[in-house]
């Protein structure tokens, strides 16, 4: 199946960088005002996505800007659902006002990981999407619990692999505060991409190989050389059929 390339945007990067990345990706995960972003950045990102025919997705995070939404957080299922509705609704309103609509949702940072570890919050996440935005595609960790539950509920879900993050042998992401957790060399990122394409495997720490079938690949906008890496990855993906990009 052809692969999608997604990137987290509207997170405080310069508008010129947002535009540069939009030229190479097919899905934009746009911050919704909690861990990062505001109405202005949402409007800018949606406008650029429309211009470059990039799919528009919500990227809700925890409201801890000092930690960029990546610190551990304690939430009840109801608090979590409320947080999601507030953020996704904000971006949904901006998109509709600009003649576009949301295509997908991808959690940010701590929320992405807590829904994998906590079955109650994982269920609350998917039940919220199913109730309010049942047509959205859910981006989740390849071979993870969120993807499994989404498939069980009959929701549209795309397995995700991160091209610029180190993985632990159990298939989860290495904590960001560990050395080597973020891949900075273009050669390492392209090696991962080619192994995924040619062998269908993800190389983790200690040399562990995990078989995965991703539908979408992620590069972070705040990773070193993100624009260059997006261009290189897109050029490789362009050698195989890719899904038609739609923004509205």
- 242 or 52: which carries more pLDDT confidence? 52
Domain ranges within the chain, ordered by starting residue: 4-237
pLDDT given at position 248: 46
Predicted confidence (pLDDT) at residue 244 exceeds the cutoff of 70: no
The beta-strand segments (E) located in 3-54 are 4-9, 27-31
What separation in angstroms does the CA of 155 have from each of 40, 83, 150, 194, 246? 31, 20, 5, 29, 20
Fold of 4-237: TIM Barrel (3.20.20)
Any idea which residue has 């979590």 for tokens?
80
pLDDT given at position 206: 83
CA separation for the pair 153, 26 (Å, rounded) = 26
Predicted confidence (pLDDT) at residue 40 exceeds the cutoff of 60: yes
* pLDDT tens per residue, range 85-136: 999 999 999 999 999 999 999 999 999 999 999 999 999 999 999 999 999 9
Which stretch of 27-31, 70-74, 91-95, 106-110 has the lowest confidence by average pLDDT? 70-74
């Amino acid at each position: 199946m052809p692969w999608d390339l997604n990137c987290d945007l509207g997170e405080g990067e310069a508008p010129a960088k947002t535009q540069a990345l939009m030229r190479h990706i097919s899905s934009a995960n746009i911050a919704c005002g909690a861990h990062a972003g505001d109405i202005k950045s949402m409007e800018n990102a949606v406008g650029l996505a429309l211009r470059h025919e990039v799919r528009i997705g919500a990227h809700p995070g925890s409201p801890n800007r000092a930690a960029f939404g990546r610190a551990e957080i304690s939430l009840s299922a109801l608090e979590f659902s409320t947080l999601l509705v507030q953020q996704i609704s904000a971006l949904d309103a901006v998109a509709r006002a600009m003649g576009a609509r949301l295509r997908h949702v991808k959690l940010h940072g701590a929320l992405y990981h807590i829904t994998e570890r906590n079955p109650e919050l994982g269920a609350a996440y998917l039940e919220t999407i199913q109730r309010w935005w049942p047509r959205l595609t859910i981006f989740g960790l390849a071979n993870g619990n969120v993807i499994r539950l989404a498939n069980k509920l009959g929701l549209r879900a795309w397995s995700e692999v991160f091209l610029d993050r180190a993985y632990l042998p159990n298939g989860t992401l290495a904590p960001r505060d560990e050395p080597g957790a973020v891949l900075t060399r273009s050669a390492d990122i392209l090696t991962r991409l080619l192994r995924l394409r040619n062998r269908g495997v993800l190389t983790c720490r200690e040399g562990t190989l995990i078989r995965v079938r991703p539908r979408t690949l992620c590069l972070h906008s705040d990773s070193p050389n993100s624009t260059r890496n997006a261009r290189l990855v897109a050029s490789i993906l362009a050698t195989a059929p890719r899904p038609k990009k739609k923004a509205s």
